[in-house]
Amino acid sequence: MKHIKGLDTLRTFAVIFVIIAHWGPNSFRTEPLKFIFSKLMPDGVFGVDLFFVLSGYLITKILLRARYQALPDQRLQIIKSFYIRRMLRIFPVYFLLVFITAYVLGDEYVRNHILYFITYTSNILTFKESGRISLLHTWSLAVEEQFYLVWPWIIIYSPKKHLLKIILTAIGIGIISNLVLDYRYGEWAHVLLLPCITAFAIGALWAYVQMYRRFEKTLITAALLLLPVCIILLYINHNGDNRLILIRFVNSVIAVNAIIYASREKYNRVSGYIFNNKLLVNIGKISYGVYLYHFILPVYYNAFINYLRPKIGLSDHMLKILTMPPSAYLIRLGFLFILSILSYRYIELVFLRLKRNFSYVPVKKEYSPEVNGL
């Protein structure tokens, strides 16, 4: 499948929104910076939903293409290759992070609940504990893995004539689940799989439309018409006192507009510079590591500064530079990117290279760009 640089750029924006949310925009000392980072920029919830919509789009597109190329008796091979390739991409650094946090850094909470983390059910633990857990950010990774358990079977084995109905039904199930579970259990129900299905399915819908060239203009027009309304609702949610229960649907509509624009690659001069920017594209490539490590880095960074302070006699001025935004943000970002680059080059790439040994299927017929929509 053709590599689209703009999608890596969207990953970069998604992870930046998450970092800002988790590192605390309100800790900035100046009011303009507080206002920009806490009121104007999309929040971490939007960043996670953008990741979900991207995953739904890319995974569905990969599966639909493999299904198109495969003979009927090769469908199980697609499923097998899909899971092996996903495990090679996701498991190594994730399990490394969990075990280092639990047994090297000595996080007693992670150690006592290790089964939730190694089985990708930390979202259920997050729900039970109302977010009061270590490695809180892993809930979204758990949701993705749970989605992967089900979605490939649906896409590969469902009759082609029913695929669109299934995707639209999944969007509806996600919306209804969000309403029902929020009413029954409160806002932390949003970390469970069913309320997240909306985001994945909206991404899948664009993959389906691109693949089969059905209703493409209709979907693009509908997404564009909903876009201004959803942007207004996003900022009402972001700046108001009461949250919108269907904020995931709102976020997903905005996200799919961005994905449609990036995947079609019909940029103007300004957007082309942004979506093809080498720095943003490269950060997108290491965004998995950035997302994994960003949550714990501030904790151990501050612990290291506190350990270092009496040993080398840090002045109050230097301590302020090292611990107060915006300078502390920049220093921690530097450490985060260095760690993520090293992780990508020396751990992730080792396993990513193995993916070439697990192609989805022998090609039955040449894949047509007209079918792919590229």
Question: For position 363, what pLDDT does the model report?
Answer: 54
Residue 131 has pLDDT above 80, yes or no: yes
d(CA 31, CA 5): 35
pLDDT digits (tens, 9 = 90+) for 317-347: 888 888 887 788 899 999 999 999 999 999 9
Residue 368 has pLDDT above 50, yes or no: no
Residue 369 has pLDDT above 70, yes or no: no
Question: For position 251, what pLDDT does the model report?
Answer: 97
Residues in the chain: 374
DSSP-derived 3-state class of residue 332: helix
Q: Is 3 exposed, middle or buried (0-12, 13-18, 19+ CB in 10 A)?
A: exposed
84-93: buried (b, 16+ CB within 10 Å) or exposed (e) per residue? Answer: ebbebbbebb
Residue 157 has pLDDT above 60, yes or no: yes
Question: For position 312, what pLDDT does the model report?
Answer: 82
d(CA 332, CA 323): 9
d(CA 346, CA 96): 13
d(CA 276, CA 217): 25
What are the residue ranges spanned by the domains of the chain?
Answer: 5-360
* Residue 367 pLDDT grade (very low, low, confident, very high; cuts 50, 70, 90): very low
d(CA 251, CA 147): 19
d(CA 263, CA 52): 16
For all residues of the chain together, what is the average pLDDT? 91
Contact 275, 267 (CB under 8 A): yes
Contact 227, 257 (CB under 8 A): yes
pLDDT digits (tens, 9 = 90+) for 171-214: 999 999 999 999 999 999 999 999 999 999 999 999 999 999 88
d(CA 107, CA 116): 14
Q: Between residues 72 and 343, which one has the greater pLDDT?
A: 343
Question: For position 27, what pLDDT does the model report?
Answer: 62
pTM (predicted TM-score): 0.93
Residue percentage of the chain with pLDDT more than 90: 74
* Residue 373 pLDDT grade (very low, low, confident, very high; cuts 50, 70, 90): very low
Question: For position 29, what pLDDT does the model report?
Answer: 64
pLDDT digits (tens, 9 = 90+) for 263-319: 999 999 999 999 999 999 999 999 999 999 999 999 899 888 888 888 788 788 888
Question: For position 268, what pLDDT does the model report?
Answer: 94
**Which amino acid type is present at position 52?**
F
Q: Which residues have C-beta within 8 Å of that of residue 368, sequence separation ≥ 6?
A: none
Residue 38 DSSP symbol: I
Stretch among 18-32, 70-84, 97-111, 357-371 having the lowest mean pLDDT:
357-371
**Three-point CA angle 88, 91, 94, nearest 5°:** 140
